[in-house]
Structure 1
C-alpha cells in the first residue's frame, strides 16, 4: 500500500515538474564546463599571442582606455589571469540589466571585443537554469520544481528498492530486452546509480531558491540565521592615479600563491576590493579578499579565507558542490553524467506512463442451469 501511494505521488509529481527538470538539467550540464566551452569557441576573447620580451601595460592605462571607450559604465571589475597569454576581462555595469564584457589585450591596450551580457550564450543558459528567463516568476517555478525533485529522488529510491529475489535485476540494464523493459531499466537503474549526486545537487540548488534554506545553512554552522555577506568597507575616494597597478602588485605580494586576481571598483563610497582565487586550495571557490583606498592604493583591510566563519566557509562550498567543481575534473565529470541522467528521467518516466498496459476487467461467465 505504501509503495502504491508513493508510486502515484512519484508519477504525478514527475509529470508536473518534468519539463522544468528537463530544462534545468540540460542547462546545468552545459554550465558544468562553462569555462572550457566558452574558451574553446571564443578563444580570441580570452587569449592573445604575447610579443617576445613584451611587458604588460599598467592596469591604470587599460582602465582609462576602457572608461574612455565606454563612458556610460561607471562601475565594474577586471580579471587578471597569471598566464602571459591571457587577456584582461572587464565586466562593466550601468544597471543590473545593462552589463558589458570587454576583452583587452594587456600588451597593446587594444580592445579586442565587447559583448553585452544579455547576448552572451552562458548568461542566457544561466538565466534559463535559474529563472527560465522569466525573472521572479521563473525563480518561483524552478524553486518549487527543485523541491519536487528532492521528493522524486527519495521516492524513486524507495520504489526502486528490490526484493531479496530480485536484486540483480535492479542493478543492471538489460540491453537486449524489449523497449518497454529497457526504458524502465534506463529510468530506474541509471536513476539509482546517480541518486545521491542528484540529491546533493538539488539540495544545494535550494540555497539560491529560498532565503530560509540559506539561513538554515548559516544556523547549522554559526548558530544564527543571519547570512554573512562580503562587502567592501566604507572608504571615501581620494585624488590620485596609478593606484590600480599598485593594488595588483600589493595583492600578489600579500597573497603569493598562483591564481587570477579580480579588482572591483567604481563606487566612490566603498573601498576597492581585490580578491584572489587560490587554485592550489584543497577545494574550489577559495578566495582571499583585500580592500584598498581608491586614489592611493592604501591597504585598508584584509579578509582571508582561513579566518572566515564556519558558516561562510560552508556557504562558499555550495557553488562548487552544486556544479561538481569542488575537486576538479573527476567531480565535474560525475556532475555532468548525473545531469544528463536527470534530463533523461522525465522522458523515460513519461514513456513508462504511456506504455503501461491497463488491466482489463475480468468478465465472469454465466453458466446456464441445466
Structure 2
C-alpha cells in the first residue's frame, strides 16, 4: 500500500509539458467534439458518392462492347434529332464526356439560355438513356452531406471558417493525444494497453481502449485527411503547405485559356473539329484514360478545352489539359498553371496537386477509399469515446456513490 508521501512522488513524475498537453487534449477535444464528429462522419459518407451514383443511376451504365465508340459528330447528330422531337429549338450542346468501357457518354447542353441539363447516351449506339435536368435523389443526398462536411449546413462564409478552425483544433488534439498515449515507462502491461484492445474487459475499459488504441493506429491517416481538408478553408494554410513542400511562394491562381484565331478562315466542313480532337486524344492516350471531357467554345474567340483524367476518371491531380482552336482544330499552348503537365512538376508540386485526391481517398482507388472511410469513422468516434472517458472519470464515481447510498437508505 502506498503511503501519502509515495503517492505524491508517483504523481509528480508527470512533467509540466505533459500536464499541459493532457489539459489541452481534454478541453480542446470537448470544445470541438461535436463539429469534428459531424465533419468526420459526413466525410466518410461522401467518400462513396461516385459508387452510390453509379449503382443507383442505371443510365450511367452500358454493356461494354468490343468495338470503338461513336465519334462525337455521330452522337451529336442523334442528340440533335432528339432535340427536334422534343421541340427544343434553342438547345445548344456545350460538351461531351467519354468514359471507360461500360460507362455512358455524357452530353452537356443548354435547353435554353438559362437552364443546364445532361443527356446520358450509349457511346456505341448513341441511344438516349436519360435526359437529366435536375439532380437525382442520391445526388441531392450527397449535396446535403457535402454541405454538412464543408459548412455545417450554415452559410459558407460562416460555416467554412468554423469547420476550418475546428479541424485545426483537431490536429492539436491529435498531437496532444499522442503525447498522452505515450507511456511514461515501457513495460509489458503498458505495451498491451497501448497497442491492444481488451475486448473481454468491462465496457468502461473497452471504451478507453477503443479511444487510445484505435486513435493511435489511425493517427497518420486522420491527420493527413484533416490537414488536406484545412487547405480548402484557409488560403494562408494552403500557402503554408505549398511553401513547406516546394520552398517557394505559390503563384497566383489564374485561369486564362488561349483563345481561338477569329481572323483566319479555314474550311472545316470536311472534318468535324470535335471528331478531330477526339481522334487525336484517343491516339495520344489510347486506353489509358479514365475520362475525356471536351468542352465546346461558347464565345466567338473561345477555344475547345479538353481534360483527360486517368484511373477511374475521377482523379484530378495528374489530369492533362489541352486547348484547340475552334476554326482550324490546331492545338494551342497555354502558359497557365492549370495546363502544366503533371510529369513536369517538382516532387513537392506533385504532392501539393494530390491534395483533393488524398483528402477524398480516391488517390489509389478502392484501397485508399476504404482506408479513408475507416479513418473517418474512427475520427468521428474519438470525440464520443473521449467524452465518455471524461464523463466516467468526472461523474461516474460520484453517481456510483449516490446510487450505493440510495440502496443503503432504501434497505433501512
In the other structure, the counterpart of 1:330 is 367
Match of 2:142 among 111, 116, 122: 122
- Pairs within 5 Å for 1:252-291: 252-259=282-289, 260-268=291-299, 269-279=301-311, 285-291=317-323
Long gaps (5+) in structure 1: 361-370
In the other structure, the counterpart of 1:292 is 324
Deviation at 1:167, TM superposition (A): 2.4
- The answer to whether the 8 Å contact 2:121/2:128 transfers is yes
Compared CA separation, residues 210 and 3, structure 1 to 2 (3 A): same
In the superposition, the TM-score normalised over structure 2's length comes to: 0.74
Compared CA separation, residues 216 and 61, structure 1 to 2 (3 A): farther
Map Cα deviations across residues 236-279 of structure 1 (whole Å, 9 max, x no partner): 66996732222211222233352120122344243221121233
The reply on whether 1:56 has 2:74 as its aligned counterpart is: no
In the superposition, the TM-score normalised over structure 1's length comes to: 0.82
In the other structure, the counterpart of 1:347 is 384
Compared CA separation, residues 90 and 181, structure 1 to 2 (3 A): farther
In the other structure, the counterpart of 2:172 is 151
In the other structure, the counterpart of 1:368 is none
Distance in 2, Cα, partners of 1:92 & 1:151: 47
In the other structure, the counterpart of 1:363 is none
Higher Rg: 2
The reply on whether 1:213 has 2:229 as its aligned counterpart is: no
Distance in 2, Cα, partners of 1:280 & 1:46: 14
Map Cα deviations across residues 60-118 of structure 1 (whole Å, 9 max, x no partner): 436656887778887854321131x3211245689xx9764542333234251415249
Give 3-state SS (helix, strand or coil) of 1:248's partner.
helix
Distance in 2, Cα, partners of 1:237 & 1:309: 36
- The answer to whether the 8 Å contact 1:89/1:103 transfers is yes
Q: Larger deviation: 258-267 or 175-184?
A: 258-267
- Pairs within 5 Å for 1:1-370: 1-42=16-57, 44-49=58-63, 56=70, 58-61=74-77, 64=80, 77-83=95-101, 85-90=102-107, 100-106=117-123, 107-117=125-135, 120=139, 121-134=141-154, 135-163=156-184, 164-165=186-187, 166-219=190-243, 220-221=245-246, 223-229=248-254, 231-235=256-260, 242-259=272-289, 260-268=291-299, 269-279=301-311, 285-301=317-333, 303=339, 304-308=341-345, 312-357=349-394
Distance in 2, Cα, partners of 1:245 & 1:108: 15
Deviation at 1:331, TM superposition (A): 2.4
Map Cα deviations across residues 109-146 of structure 1 (whole Å, 9 max, x no partner): 42514152496233332222222232222211111111
In the other structure, the counterpart of 2:401 is none
